[in-house]
């Protein structure tokens, strides 16, 4: 589990390997990740946009930008949480994801809530330390 706090908004990510959707013989590996966004502040915040930087095991980078998450732009009152699950395919057996959510506080101020960097690793592959 990976956690990061920005401006009293806590983001927790739990990645997991999807063995049944992966085809290692065809260089196709799939992970899911479960995200919890918890508003610890005293203000209402809304998630407007997302940005992901996905780096595969050989250093190729893909950037993903877009409105909201899973088709929603959730509004979180003080103390509320929002959870969702999504996925990421790669052509390598490992990778790294990082990014941020663009959040807006009641009143219009915006900030980037950092998503903690997390690794995607095929549990069936031997880990090599360099």
Mean pLDDT of the 79-84 span: 98
Each residue of 88-107: pLDDT tens digit?
999 999 999 999 999 999 98
* Residue 126 within a domain: no
* Residue 104 within a domain: yes
DSSP string, 45-106: EEEEEEEEEEEETTS-EEEEEEESBTTB--EE-TT-EEEEEEEEEESSSEEEEEEEEEEEET
* Residue 56 within a domain: yes
Distance CA 47, CA 111 (A): 10
* Residue 127 within a domain: no
Task: Give the distance, in angstroms, between the CA of residue 122 and the centroid of all CA atoms in the same chain.
Answer: 17
Each residue of 112-124: pLDDT tens digit?
999 999 999 988 8
| Domains: count for the chain | 1
* Residue 129 within a domain: no
**CATH number, residue 83:** 2.60.40.1470
* Residue 36 within a domain: yes
Distance CA 121, CA 125 (A): 8
Domain extent at residue 51 = 2-121
């Amino acid at each position: 589990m990976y956690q990061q706090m920005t401006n009293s908004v806590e983001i927790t990510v739990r990645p997991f390997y999807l063995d049944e959707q992966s085809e290692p013989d065809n260089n196709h590996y799939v992970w899911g990740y479960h995200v919890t966004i918890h508003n610890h502040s005293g203000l209402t915040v809304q998630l407007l946009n997302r940005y992901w930087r996905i780096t595969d095991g050989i250093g190729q980078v893909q950037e993903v930008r877009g409105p909201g998450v899973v088709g929603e732009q959730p509004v979180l009152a003080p103390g509320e949480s929002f959870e969702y699950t999504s996925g990421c395919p790669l052509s390598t057996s490992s990778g790294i994801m990082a990014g941020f959510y663009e959040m807006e506080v009641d009143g219009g101020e915006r900030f980037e809530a950092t998503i903690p960097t997390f690794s995607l690793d095929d549990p069936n592959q031997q880990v090599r330390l360099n």
